[in-house]
């Protein structure tokens, strides 16, 4: 049964604790997203991941395959942790942001990244150019990310 987000009394709110709990949740969510994408990959025709495009552009195509792989993984984990931390801080002061057990967060993040920011920066295909598999995989894996991030964030926050 779903819990209703209850406003925390001002004296029990802590931005630092919220950021930390969200960061830990974001790392767990990033791990779950990785597993989800192994099961249902967003790109099946050899298209590069956005993080791979960043490494390619940052190194002017001079990076070795090993460096590209390490860099792309670092970006994936760092983004997952930072997005989770931002989410944890937000939930600390606006508990309704955790609605739908984190699913809303995950789907919003997918829309903002793969539906807007990444195409605008030239790091991914525009929504109208994405395949149905890419769209549904990204939405599904971000849904997993959001739910896992919220579950772990909530558990960690209770321990702090």
Per-residue pLDDT of 72-103, as tens digits, reads 899 999 999 999 999 999 999 999 999 999 99
Tell whether the model's pLDDT for residue 49 goes beyond 90. Answer: no
Tell whether the model's pLDDT for residue 4 goes beyond 90. Answer: no
**pLDDT at position 5, please?**
57
Residue spans of the domains in the chain: they are 17-43+74-159
**pLDDT at position 58, please?**
85
Tell whether the model's pLDDT for residue 59 goes beyond 90. Answer: no
* Beta carbons of 33 and 137 less than 8 angstroms apart: no
Residue 1's pLDDT band, with cuts at 50, 70 and 90, is very low
Q: What is the overall mean pLDDT for the chain? A: 90
What pTM did the predictor assign? 0.87
Residue 82 Cα distances to 64, 110, 129, angstroms: 27, 15, 28
> End-to-end CA distance of the chain, in Å?
24
Tell whether the model's pLDDT for residue 148 goes beyond 50. Answer: yes
């Amino acid at each position: 049964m779903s819990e209703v987000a209850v406003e925390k009394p001002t004296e029990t709110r802590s931005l630092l604790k919220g950021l930390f709990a969200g960061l830990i949740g974001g790392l767990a969510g990033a791990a779950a997203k990785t597993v989800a994408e192994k099961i249902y990959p967003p790109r099946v025709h050899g298209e590069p991941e956005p993080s791979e495009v960043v490494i390619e552009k940052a190194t002017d195509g001079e990076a070795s395959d090993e460096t590209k792989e390490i860099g792309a993984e670092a970006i994936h984990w760092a983004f997952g942790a930072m997005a989770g931390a931002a989410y944890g801080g937000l939930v600390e002061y606006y508990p309704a942001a955790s609605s739908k057990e984190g699913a809303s967060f995950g789907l919003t993040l997918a829309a903002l990244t793969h539906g807007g920011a990444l195409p605008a920066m030239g790091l991914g295909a525009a929504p109208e150019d994405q395949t149905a598999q890419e769209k549904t995989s990204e939405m599904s894996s971000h849904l997993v990310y959001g739910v896992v991030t919220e579950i772990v964030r909530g558990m960690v926050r209770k321990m702090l």
